Structure 1
Amino acid sequence: MTVTCVPRPTDSEAADRFARDAQPLFGALLRRARGLTKTTADAEDLVQDTLLHAFMGYHTFRDGTDFKAWLLRILYNRWVSGFRAKQRRPSEVPVDDVAEGDLAVSAARTSTASRSAESEALTRLPDGDLRSAMATLPEDFRTVLFYAEVQGHTYAETAMILNIPRGTVMSRASRGRARLRVALDASAYAPTAQIA
């Protein structure tokens, strides 16, 4: 068996080859990016980001595979990553332009559809009742509930903050909510059974 060694291209050879292969595909990349982003400026930014990441990972591209499909997959993955990052990022507003009335109107419009029933109920309780009910919980449960329910972090974020597994966060949150229900059951805000 004979093994032939192919010399590895230099950086300038790889850059030239990448530019030569990618340039005819600019139009197709821009059309696809425009379809995803809906604006020309965002599409151009997405194509530039795609080409940058493709060039950085060009050493992983295997000859004989479809270069256009490879670039389009990178473009789509970069768009998904950007979209997810925008969803996680809180909206930014200059503080100087915000009045108290604007904050009240904004808070009234905030949707509560994604919140759990427990979270919704907890926000309606007076602070004293909630604080005393939370004080009855073990510290681990209280901490998880604070980050997950009060601060609004996801289970994954809470796990990362507390440096514990996600499953542990989910378990502690569930057990903590159950204990909170018991602790709040005696309060004046507990639902009462209506006699028909």
Structure 2
Amino acid sequence: MPARMPGVSAPDPFRRQLLEALPRLRRYARTLDFDSHATDDLVQTTIERALTHWHQFDQRRDMRVWLLSIAHNAHLDRLRRDRRLAIVDPAQLAESAVAAEGSFGADPGVQTALRMDLLTALARLSPPHREVLLLAGVEQLSYAECAEVLGVPQGTVMSRLSRARAEMRAALDGNRPGPNAQPGLRRVV
């Protein structure tokens, strides 16, 4: 990590933009790990890296895209360092969704079941598919912005997004396609 220059800190406008972006950054980090402690660590690492490298931020860029890129890279760094993939147990995920539901005071019926189904289906997606689906669907980034965050070509983003949506539809319909499942061929007459 480069040494910080003494007496030089990020300017106030940069810090304000950083604070405004925190809720989205936290939401994205939470979907990468599904673990509150890992989420907190990832957000902290992202903020530390952003503040350390604030002078590299181009004001013409969107702060949100820059921070999500840092978070994505920090997450990949941690996965590489751990040399293992975190396995999310859908039953444990469903239990945490039910526990969180009580704090919102929502109807425990249909909404809870839908959230559990969505979280379980999301947890079953491969990390590349989950990341692009969340960036495009939840964070509402364009294909180009998703490509910038993930460091992949725009065509790869579109392909992963298409596959992720198909897998989510299949999972929510009760079907679970395999990792290399291809849509069936249809004969058009």
> Structure 1-normalised TM-score?
0.38
Query: Relative CO higher for 1 or 2, CA cutoff 8 Å, sep ≥ 6?
Result: 2
Larger radius of gyration: 1
